[in-house]
Amino acid sequence: MSQLHIIDHPMIQHKLSIMRDIHTGSKDFRELLKEISLLMGYEVTRDLPLEPVEIETPMRKMTARVISGKKLAIVPILRAGLGMVDGLLTLLPVAKVGHIGLYRDETTHQPVSYYCKMPFDIDQRLVIVTDPMLATGGSASDALTMLKNLGCQHLRLMCLVAAPEGVKRLQQDHPDVDIYVAALDEELNSDAYILPGLGDAGDRIFGTK
Ligand code: PRP
Ligand code: URA
């Protein structure tokens, strides 16, 4: 069973509360999403392995530690997942970035795929999939399936706000993928929007409504 990590650090919760507020405009929403993504990145990468290297400080030689093991990739689910990329890249500047285009059909709430472009060696990388909203879980589940079909074996999902329905779906479909969220909200409404949530993340990032 995959683990659900709820990152309830006070700085993240404070910033998320401002994002949820209906009066927060796109500029602040985008900046806060970037800041939270960087902060959440600390937890998402907490267990990366380290290896020893010999270095010399101005004082003497020492055995220091650097990150070893798999290279990283960040894969946003378009559009809203794009808002989490820059924060993660600040933390992981050499990560490669792939893109998966999915939108939810307004009537059926089923994800529709329209784009996929990956680094050539994506199957060799530890992949962090980003999307602020995990509602029914359909979009994230399809994105993870697409990546597994390309050979990816080491995947993590980083979201901002999740509904219990989405977490349950992910844990059923992808029990090997850990999920990182800043908040687990109450429920979905009849349009499959998260309550209390923060509205339509893509529209709030890009100012399209
Ligand atoms: C939103 C969100 C997720 C999806 C979540 O995208 O960014 O990708 O819905 O819903 P689900 O868990 O029920 O699949 P949307 O379809 O609105 O596309 P957009 O990001 O392009 O606005
Ligand atoms: N997509 C969003 O952007 N918000 C929701 O609450 C659900 C899906």
Q: Which of 104, 125, 156, 169 is catalytic?
A: 104
Q: What is the pLDDT of residue 209?
A: 83
Decide if 130 is catalytic.
no
Q: Atom 3 (ligand 2): residue with closest C-alpha?
A: 200
Ligand 2 pocket residues where CB is under 6 Å: 80, 133, 135, 193-194, 197, 200-202
- Nearest ligand to the CA atom of 113: 1
Q: What is the pLDDT of residue 53?
A: 97
166 in Cβ contact with 160 (< 8 Å): no
> How sure is the predictor about 26, in pLDDT bands with cuts at 50, 70 and 90?
very high
d(CA 79, CA 102): 8
What is the DSSP secondary structure assignment for residue 23, as one 8-state letter? Answer: T
* Mean pLDDT within 93-109: 96
pLDDT tens per residue across span 80-89: 999 999 999 9
Q: Is 99 in the pocket of ligand 1 (CB under 6 A)?
A: no
d(CA 73, CA 147): 11
Q: What is the pLDDT of residue 192?
A: 97
Q: What is the pLDDT of residue 69?
A: 79
pLDDT tens per residue across span 31-57: 999 999 999 999 999 999 999 999 999
Q: What is the pLDDT of residue 171?
A: 97
Name the amino acid, one letter, at 129.
V
